Amino acid sequence: MIRVLLADDENLIRSALAALLALEDDLAVVAEAASAAEALAMARAHAPDVAVLDLQLPDRDGISLAAELAGVAPGCGLVIVTGHGRPGHLKRALEAGVRGFLPKTVNAAVLTSVVRTVHGGGRYVDPELAAEAISAGDSPLTPREADILELAAGGAPVEEIAARAHLSPGTVRNHLSAAAAKLGAPNRHAAVTEARRRGWI
């Protein structure tokens, strides 16, 4: 029996996924979570074989969660499902140890097949998302610049971003300026928009 953890903040989608997976004789949903914090707690409590994670969770993105789960539940296969996959997300996900990456538009047969494949040590990346990732190219942003842009995405002032990133306001301004220049953006707001459009944050 393959023990599955589901993490999605949309209750209807999570329940539907649980119901679909429960129809399979070899799959058992042992835990459900609506947030990254819940998913980490559930992973510690239930030691799942495979975790199916939504890309967008309210308290953290699914890729960051996947990286943490790799430490909390070693050996757990990691699958990301997304309603809006962007090329940069796929690269980040693979770097975080994710072995399955697919859109929410796939049918139940594909999802169950991916869970089994990942549990067996294999990989599955949606072909369309893979093709988009190849054509988009690599992000010009450093990891720190990407982090700062992500923190700036909500419109927070430089001082707040600096406090959250444990940096000085001047250093944050430098990172934001460098990121905007690399993206050909006139300001940090435009830089955030462009980086998001490319899936680099």
Those residues with Cβ within 8 angstroms of residue 18's Cβ, 6 or more apart along the chain or in another chain: 6, 29, 32
Selection from 33-42, 98-107, 129-138 with the highest mean pLDDT: 33-42
Give dist(CA 64, CA 67) in Å, integer. Answer: 5
**Whether the model pTM is above 0.85:** no
In the prediction, which pLDDT does 37 show? 94
Closest CA to 90 of 60, 119, 131, 57: 131
Burial of 143 (0-12, 13-18, 19+ CB in 10 A): exposed
In the prediction, which pLDDT does 105 show? 87
| % residues pLDDT > 70 (the chain) | 97
The answer on pLDDT for 87 being more than 70 is no
**Mean predicted confidence (pLDDT) in 184-188:** 94
How far is the CA of 34 from the CAs of 169, 187, 200, in angstroms? Answer: 34, 34, 25
- Domains of the chain in sequence order: 2-135 (3.40.50.2300), 143-198 (1.10.10.10)
- Amino acid residing at 22: A
